[in-house]
Amino acid sequence: MTMYAPRSVTELQALVLDSERIHVIGNGSKPALHCAVNGAAIVDLSGMSGIIEYQPAEYTATVRAGAPVRELSAALREKGQYLPFDPLLPEAATIGGTVASNLSGSRRFRYGGVRDFILGAQVVDGEGRAFGVGGKVVKNSAGFDLSKFLVGSMGKYAIMTELTFKVFPDVPRFRSLGFHYEELEEALSAIYFINQSAYELDALDLAPPSVHPINRGKKNGNWMLLARLAGFDDTLPRRVERFTAAMTRDTATIRVEELHDSAALWNPLADLTGEFLVKVVIPPKQLPAFDALIAHNRRRYSVGGNIAWAATDDIAQLDTALTSCGLTGLCLSGAVDSALIGVPIDNALAERVKQVLDPLGKLV
Amino acid sequence: MMNRGILQALQKIYPADRLLTRDVELLPYESDALTAFNAKPGAVVLPVNEEEIIDTVRLCHQLALPFVARGSGTSLSGGSLPIPEGLTIGLNRLNRIKKIDPLQRIAVVEPGVINLHITEAAQPYGLYYAPDPSSQSICTIGGNIAFNSGGAHCLKYGMTSNHVLAMKVVLADGTVTRFGGESVDGVGIGPDLVGLFVGSEGLFGIALEITVRLMPQPELYQTVLAAYDDLGRAGDAVSMVVASGLLPGAMEIMDRLAIKAAEASVSAGYPDAEALLIVELEGEALQVEAEFEQLLGIIEKSSAIEVRVAQNEEERTRIWKGRKGAFSAVGRLSPDYIVQDGVVPRSRLGEALVEIGALKDKYQLDVANVFHAGDGNLHPLILYDGREAGALERAEALAGEILALCISLGGSITGEHGIGMEKRDYLPAMFSEEEIDIMEGLRRAIDPNEIANRGKMFPGGEAPALSQHGVHPLERAGLISRE
């Protein structure tokens, strides 16, 4: 396996032209995405790093794809702003890898995912062409929106070298609450209650009895709905009070506790140990059926029950569970032949893009 | 008139009352909300289900017959303008809301469903559909998808693309494909095909079924209207709001001419001023109340000559009525006008407005300015009289200079109206030859015959007649407006 570390777009273009097969890697924080690359030249983009332009007054930031997420987040934090799509691996991932794999953390709940905050990109495609897609302003509808297409594209259509995002002002204070439910269905009803209410939560996750640290070790623990409110000193306590009152009155919660708000609490992967770690995109209504099949696994239902994170030592079993529920999973760690498991995706439109950007199939 | 063979093939799909070929039947379809252009389609078909659409697209592919899908024809960039002698596929009859699922906050709709009807169906559950183009009471979701429509409330929650979770589409070569799902993560795994399809201006194919996300109705709106004796000061106020860390749902500015038009048209009761700024906060009541206090503090420091706070829903509606009606109101001041849709970085709004002022003098035309200040999206309305020789050409030249200005300031030629017919010659100002080649390549990979909405988005190609003047009949009736 040959490793390359281009320092410029021109070097990257030359590499693409000289190679038969290319596989891109950032910091390698999601090893399963790099399993099936069979002799392709590995291009490490972490050398193409740094913030190119950050304009707090415009709510926009442009960075090189190899930049660590933590570098961009730190620069934003200094100006009281943040990436609302909440990169999943804020300490380990590069920004390019986060976009390529479309991985958001729990705070995606409030304003949306990567697709909702990407504005444009510079890329090098499989033909070695360097060009731009999208734009650099917060609103733009000129041309086909290939920048959104890059989200989740896994480096298989074009290699991102530069990315522009919309960013938002962050809030200074957070409060986290845990609502306990005896059954999954009750916790799910509480999610539905929140969905139809005007309470604006910063994040909403659901942890099964065995997983969360507070529940861990207890044989018959409860389902815990983790809710986070964000705001300002003067109103947050009253909002927390109001929300708690509504939840205890209108849902089947058996206990409420204030949790210590921390990055660890809101890292959906914090307690997921297992050989394979998998992201599943799931409509909340399918949670009971899916959960019944994977109840022995460590798991957490994030973003209001719309994204499942599951850890397992038996990937075949998880694959079967996904298939029987009609769901698709993306494996992030563990040795796999294909990072995609469960039901395959209808790729008719993506294949057309591939024909144009990488007709020789160089990018894998 | 279409050739007999094509008509016979269409007759196999459509009964006579849904296959329009006579001049008088075709007339309403000759133009859209960009009234400067018109063209006569060869025929108009009115499918009632997705099978008919699929059959029609497959037939068009087979015969290399150009087609354009059309909803209510409110495109401001000429996006739904007929292709001369081509087929117009009218989608208004596919107007079923197939499902409202309040628990998961989603709706599944057909392409001909009117934007506002989704909100109306969701309202009993305390939910709404967020994108709110000014034409929302008549424009369809299919059209919103083609042009990634926006509205006044985009800064916080995005445009159409950000609210679509899943789609079933027929590509221009007849392939039927689905992408996305009911999870709020949408496509979630694999390239974001929803994001690619939305905003493709009808060049990729036709959306058959669309899953959109719904949002909870905010508990409280707080709306303030501030008047300034200088347009620049209104712009400065926007910068101050942004710098404070507040995230308003909407920030809109209107200049003197736009205010005058709105007053003449809907009597919104606006103050007499050089510029008006509307800022709206929305969300949980406790939070909004606290933020609104902060906002009023900022407005107070912004040298506003008058500040009005909407005390109730009625007053809020009145403030918005003037703003949302501003475009059609301009029709009262001038027989014809062109709406531009360029975007500049927010911090350069002031510069852009000064430049537009200078251009206005150069071309001796009036320009009314209405814009989504929060996201730097300008809507200069260039007023002209189409009966005056050379006036339209002057207006178009001025429009072109405004687009060039937006690009030179680091912005975009369109924020939410799309390229369509109107701005296709300006695409090269924003994208390199190679970038346009790649986009054209993509178009051909999906549509080898280039039949879907032929003549739009890309420069060149046959242009329809540039003749009409006067507002669209629907606009005159107050049914559509241009935002």
Angstroms from A350 CA to nearest CA on chain B: 7
List the single range of A216-220, A230-234, B142-146, B376-380 with lowest mean pLDDT: A216-220
Identify which of B158, B181, B430 has the shortest CB distance to residue A142. B430
Identify which of B189, B286, B418 has the shortest CB distance to residue A152. B189
- Among A10-24, B344-358, B455-469, top mean pLDDT goes to A10-24
Beta-carbon separation of A151 and B247 below 8 A: no
Residue B321 CB burial class (10 angstroms; 0-12, 13-18, ≥19): middle
Does the pLDDT of residue B326 top 90, yes or no?
A: no
Task: Give the CA angle between residues B52, B58, B61 to the nearest 5°.
Answer: 140
A vs B, Cβ pairs < 8 A, gives 271
CA distance A206 to A208: 7
Angstroms from A319 CA to nearest CA on chain B: 15
Architecture of domain B334-443: 2-Layer Sandwich (3.30)
Does the pLDDT of residue A360 top 70, yes or no?
A: yes
Q: Does A338 touch chain B (CB under 8 A)?
A: no
Question: In which residue are the tokens 């709510």 written?
Answer: A59
Angstroms from B247 CA to nearest CA on chain A: 7
**Nearest residue in B to A307, CA atom:** B185
- Report ipTM for this prediction: 0.96
Angstroms from B142 CA to nearest CA on chain A: 16
Beta-carbon separation of B415 and A349 below 8 A: no
pLDDT at position A243, please? 98
User: If you ran DSSP here, which 8-state letter would residue B394 be given?
Assistant: H
Q: Does B180 touch chain A (CB under 8 A)?
A: no
CA distance B372 to A148: 23
Beta-carbon separation of A353 and B175 below 8 A: no
Identify which of A138, A195, A198 has the shortest CB distance to residue B376. A138
pLDDT at position A219, please? 52
Q: Does B404 touch chain A (CB under 8 A)?
A: no
Question: In which residue are the tokens 């596929």 written?
Answer: B89
Span B220-328: which CATH code? 3.30.70.2190
pLDDT digits (tens, 9 = 90+) for B327-341: 778 878 888 888 889
Instruction: Quickly state the pLDDT bin for B267 (edges 50, 70, 90).
Output: confident
Angstroms from A218 CA to nearest CA on chain B: 31
| A-interface mutation test, from B106, B183, B206, most A Cβ less than 10 A away | B183
Q: What is the phi/psi pair of residue A267, to 5°?
A: -90, 105
Domain boundaries, chain B: 4-92, 97-216, 220-328, 334-443
pLDDT at position B153, please? 85
Task: Give the CA angle between residues B54, B55, B61 to the nearest 5°.
Answer: 90
Instruction: Quickly state the pLDDT bin for B473 (edges 50, 70, 90).
Output: very low
pLDDT digits (tens, 9 = 90+) for B147-200: 999 988 888 999 999 999 999 999 999 999 999 999 999 999 999 999 999 999
Q: Does B199 touch chain A (CB under 8 A)?
A: yes
pLDDT digits (tens, 9 = 90+) for A43-93: 999 999 999 999 999 999 999 999 999 999 999 999 999 999 999 999 999
pLDDT at position B474, please? 46
Angstroms from A200 CA to nearest CA on chain B: 6
Span B97-216: which CATH code? 3.30.465.10
Beta-carbon separation of B190 and A196 below 8 A: no
CA distance B466 to B458: 18
pLDDT at position B467, please? 44
Name chain B contacts of A283, Cβ cutoff 8 Å: 104, 181-183
DSSP β-ladder status, A81-82 and B106-109: unpaired
Q: Does A77 touch chain B (CB under 8 A)?
A: no
- Tell which residue, B453, B468, B442, has the closest CA to residue B70: B453
CA distance B99 to B121: 10
Higher pLDDT, B479 or B30: B30
DSSP code per residue over B419-462: STTTTGGGHHHHS-HHHHHHHHHHHHHH-TT--BTTTSSSS-SP
pLDDT at position A211, please? 57
Does the pLDDT of residue B469 top 50, yes or no?
A: no
CA distance A230 to A302: 17
Identify which of A142, A192, A348 has the shortest CB distance to residue B175. A348
List the single range of A71-85, A327-341, B460-474 with lowest mean pLDDT: B460-474
Query: In the numeric block, which tokens belong to residue B280?
Result: 């709206």
Does the pLDDT of residue B476 top 50, yes or no?
A: no
Q: Does A83 touch chain B (CB under 8 A)?
A: no
B171: β partners: B205
Beta-carbon separation of A349 and B242 below 8 A: no
Beta-carbon separation of A345 and B156 below 8 A: no
Instruction: Quickly state the pLDDT bin for B471 (edges 50, 70, 90).
Output: low
**Using CB atoms and an 8 Å cut-off, which of residues 310-339 of chain B contact chain A?**
none
Domains and CATH numbers, chain A: 3-169 (3.30.465.10), 173-259 (3.30.70.2190), 276-342 (3.30.70)
Average confidence (pLDDT) over B19-44: 90
pLDDT digits (tens, 9 = 90+) for A199-257: 999 999 999 987 555 555 455 579 999 999 999 888 999 999 999 999 999 999 999 99
Alpha helices (runs of H) in B200-255, residue ranges in sequence order = 231-243
Instruction: Quickly state the pLDDT bin for B266 (edges 50, 70, 90).
Output: confident
DSSP code per residue over B92-132: TT---EEEEETTTTEEEE-TT-BHHHHHHHHGGGTEE----
Name chain B contacts of A307, Cβ cutoff 8 Å: 183, 185, 188
Beta-carbon separation of A115 and B195 below 8 A: yes
Q: Does B172 touch chain A (CB under 8 A)?
A: no
Angstroms from A346 CA to nearest CA on chain B: 7
Name chain A contacts of B434, Cβ cutoff 8 Å: 129, 131
Name chain B contacts of A193, Cβ cutoff 8 Å: none
pLDDT at position B316, please? 94
* The dihedral formed by the CA atoms of B147, B148, B149 and B153, expressed in degrees to the nearest 10: -170
Helices and strands: H and E segment counts in chain B: 17, 18
Name chain B contacts of A135, Cβ cutoff 8 Å: 343, 411-412, 430
pLDDT digits (tens, 9 = 90+) for A288-331: 999 999 999 999 999 999 999 999 999 999 999 999 999 999 99
Classify domain B4-92 at the CATH topology level: 3.30.43
pLDDT at position A214, please? 56
Answer yes or no: same fold for B220-328 and B334-443.
Answer: yes
**Nearest residue in B to A136, CA atom:** B411
Q: Does A308 touch chain B (CB under 8 A)?
A: no
Name chain B contacts of A349, Cβ cutoff 8 Å: 169, 171, 177, 179, 193, 196-197, 204, 446
**Using CB atoms and an 8 Å cut-off, which of residues 238-277 of chain A contact chain B?**
238-239, 242
Beta-carbon separation of A142 and B197 below 8 A: no
pLDDT at position A233, please? 81
Instruction: Quickly state the pLDDT bin for B481 (edges 50, 70, 90).
Output: low
Q: Does B408 touch chain A (CB under 8 A)?
A: no
Identify which of A112, A150, A340 has the shortest CB distance to residue B158. A112
Average confidence (pLDDT) over B68-83: 93
pLDDT at position B37, please? 83
* The dihedral formed by the CA atoms of A161, A164, A165 and A169, expressed in degrees to the nearest 10: 120
Name chain A contacts of B181, Cβ cutoff 8 Å: 281, 283
pLDDT at position B118, please? 98
Average confidence (pLDDT) over A110-114: 97
Instruction: Quickly state the pLDDT bin for B468 (edges 50, 70, 90).
Output: very low
Q: Does A135 touch chain B (CB under 8 A)?
A: yes
Average confidence (pLDDT) over B358-371: 93
Name chain A contacts of B108, Cβ cutoff 8 Å: none
